[in-house]
């Protein structure tokens, strides 16, 4: 079992990437990393969907990783970092694996090829080629409503036998498929849900954890849901889940991560709610809803 495999469970945070005036906001990034390294999270995903990775230039992505690792090291934190990569060109992705091989990361989260809609044989060959080439272990990312192709369980189970493929971020949108995968997977193949609204359901079904954008907020509560279920306390876990279930829907009212960035800005964790086109900042109606929810939760906490 690899080092990353041992840590690929529990609550992982797909960290947002803060921007200000069109540039990477390094001060806010350091503040975010310090803050969440002190929370009950088990690892970070950098530069993936929630981190607006497809808008990041290579130098920005490298800087993002370097700053996050520096803050973790300074704070004596050993939390692992996975780098999000995506693309539809296998050869180019192999080049990206070479270019990032000496970065201070612990593994990769690699999404299915988008737009080209390869066959299952194509997906198998694509991921095997990347796993054979990568210096760090891979977690796969199945999200067919973004890529237009589903990695079937038959393909996933074959890929799970590769020594350098250690897990899956599951956004397959089929509970039936997810349950079957959890039943049939090898014991050391980790499955984490990436569907915020289904976090409790997936954990109840046996998922090892979640990669949850909403856990930027109420982080301790999301962690407690996992901890209570792991202890077998279903009712206690459900009670904690009910504290945040509405939040997982509110934060996706408009395209993510714009709502979460607005909340983090209002909370003082980042200096701007800025996103990069084609994302836009949230509209005034949602801003009012979020402000009301922030105020309500502050009153409850008081």
> Does the annotation count 169 as an active-site position?
yes
Tell me the two tokens of residue 132.
Answer: 């054979």
Which residue in the list 36, 78, 94, 169 is annotated as catalytic?
169
Q: How does strand 43-46 pair with strand 10-14?
A: parallel
Binding site, annotated residues: 50, 211
Can you say which residues are annotated as belonging to the binding site for pyruvate? 50, 211
Q: Which of 36, 141, 199, 262 is catalytic?
A: 141
Cis peptide before 186 (omega within 30 of 0): no
Closest CA to 261 of 281, 291, 277: 281
CA separation for the pair 107, 289 (Å, rounded): 37
- C-alpha span between 282 and 288 (Å, rounded): 10
Q: Active site includes 141?
A: yes
Residue 138's SS3 state is strand
Residue with tokens 């090898």: 186
Return the closest-CA partner of residue 196 out of 151, 252, 144, 142.
252
Catalytic site residues?
Answer: 141, 169
């Amino acid at each position: 079992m690899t080092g990353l495999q041992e840590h690929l469970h529990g609550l992982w945070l797909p960290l947002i990437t803060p921007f200000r005036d069109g540039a990477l906001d390094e001060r806010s990034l350091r503040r975010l990393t310090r803050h969440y390294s002190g929370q009950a999270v088990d690892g970070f995903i950098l530069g993936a969907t929630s981190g607006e990775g497809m808008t990041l230039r290579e130098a920005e992505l490298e800087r993002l990783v370097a700053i996050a690792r520096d803050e973790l090291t300074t704070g004596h934190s050993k939390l692992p970092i996975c780098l999000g990569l995506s693309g539809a060109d296998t050869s180019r992705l192999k080049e990206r694996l070479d270019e990032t091989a000496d970065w201070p990361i612990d593994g990769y989260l690699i999404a299915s090829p988008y737009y080209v809609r390869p066959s299952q044989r194509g997906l198998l060959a694509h991921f095997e080629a990347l796993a054979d080439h990568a210096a760090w272990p891979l977690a796969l990312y199945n999200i067919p409503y973004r890529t237009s192709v589903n990695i079937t369980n038959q393909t996933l189970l074959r890929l799970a036998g590769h020594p350098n493929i250690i897990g899956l971020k599951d956004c397959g949108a089929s509970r039936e498929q997810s349950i079957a995968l959890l039943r049939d997977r090898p014991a050391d193949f980790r499955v984490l849900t990436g569907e915020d609204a289904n976090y409790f359901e997936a954990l109840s079904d046996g998922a090892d954890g979640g990669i949850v954008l909403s856990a930027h907020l109420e982080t301790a509560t999301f962690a407690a849901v996992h901890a209570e279920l792991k202890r077998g306390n279903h009712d206690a876990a459900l009670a904690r889940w009910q504290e945040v279930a509405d939040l997982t829907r509110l934060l996706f009212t408009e395209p993510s991560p714009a709502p979460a960035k607005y909340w983090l800005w209002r909370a003082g964790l980042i200096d701007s709610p800025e996103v990069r086109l084609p994302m836009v900042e949230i509209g005034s109606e949602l801003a009012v809803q979020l402000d009301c929810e922030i105020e309500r939760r502050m009153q409850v906490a008081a």
